[in-house]
Structure 1
Amino acid sequence: MANITLFAQAIGRLPKECIRKIIREEKTDKHSKGYDTWSQFISMMFCQFSGCDSVRDISNGLNSANGNLNHLGICRAPSKSTVAYQNAKRDSGVFRRIFYALLAHFGQQAVWQRTRYRFKMPIKLLDSSTITLTMSLYEWAHYTTRKGGGEDAYIA
């Protein structure tokens, strides 16, 4: 059985020809040497999916998936300096157009293909909130010297 990640599934659903058409029209790959707009787009998608905080996280994360990058349309993982340079220098207008194209593409699909989920058992939600209390009224509510509070757990 193939091990397909959530990230690969999301990339697989993208309208690649539409994105490549926008990239050709914007001519953002004119002087690129290996790290084209598609690679930067995949890197930024990886950044969002994995919650990266720095270019080091992006570079190291893509390096760890080195064997699977060709399935995403990337020949090799970018270095930290390449990601930083292209994020600073590449025109962001191409990504704005890609965003609106994806919004139009998936927005239309969402209206027609809503999935109804059925669950065998009722869903229970758990809320655990801290409630601020007046310390002069509730002696048991002291959890610091300046504040008083209690915790309430609620299952719906």
Structure 2
Amino acid sequence: MAQVNTIMSELLSLFPRYEFEKLENRYHANHYTRYFSGWQQLIVLLFAQAGRKDSLRDIETSLSVHHSKWYHIGLQGVKRSTLSDAMSKRSYQIYEGLFYKLLEKCKSVTPKHSFRFKNELYSLDSTTIQLC
């Protein structure tokens, strides 16, 4: 059987789980939670951002449609109240720390010199715009 990597697994590969767990321990992120961990919240937030979900109801509905596919990355059914409680009680500092870890990672792979071009550089955008 061929192994297929989903877009979500590609996104999650950017975030080292052990680094995230260190941040969770530092800020006591899972202190008052029973079963919805910070890692699961990160998965839901990435899904919502990638899918342009703008409400808790929209996130819950979209997740429940493909419930069987979320098992492989450790996500069970997520209710609006659970997500709302997690968003209000879990410290933002975990995700801020994760951002700075990713920023360090990006800086380490970018070249140290600035780019210089001999000729003019043109950028083309192929985004379609709906007129009506």
Task: Specify the TM-score bucket, using the shorter chain as the normaliser.
Answer: 0.7 to 0.9
Backbone CA RMSD of aligned residues: 2.7
Kindly state the Cα deviation for residue 47 of structure 1 after the two structures are TM-superposed: 0.9
Decide whether the 8 Å contact of 1:11 with 1:72 is kept in 2: no
* 1:101 is aligned to 2:123: no
Larger strand percent: 1
TM value normalised by structure 2: 0.74
Q: How does 1:1-156 map to 2 (within 5 A)?
A: 1-74=2-75, 76-111=76-111
Unaligned residue ranges in structure 1 (runs of 5+): 113-123, 130-156
TM-score, structure 1 normalization: 0.64
- 1:111 and 1:24, CA in 2 relative to 1: closer, same or farther beyond 3 A? farther
3-state DSSP of counterpart to 2:70: helix
Secondary structure, counterpart of 1:86 in structure 2: helix
Higher relative contact order (CA 8 A, sep 6+): 2
The one-letter code of the counterpart of 2:32 is H
Structure 2 unmatched ranges of 5 or more: 113-123
Distance 1:20 1:126, change over 3 A: closer
> 1:11 and 1:111, CA in 2 relative to 1: closer, same or farther beyond 3 A?
farther
Report the counterpart of residue 132 of structure 1 in structure 2. Answer: none
Which structure is larger by alpha-carbon Rg, 1 or 2?
Answer: 1
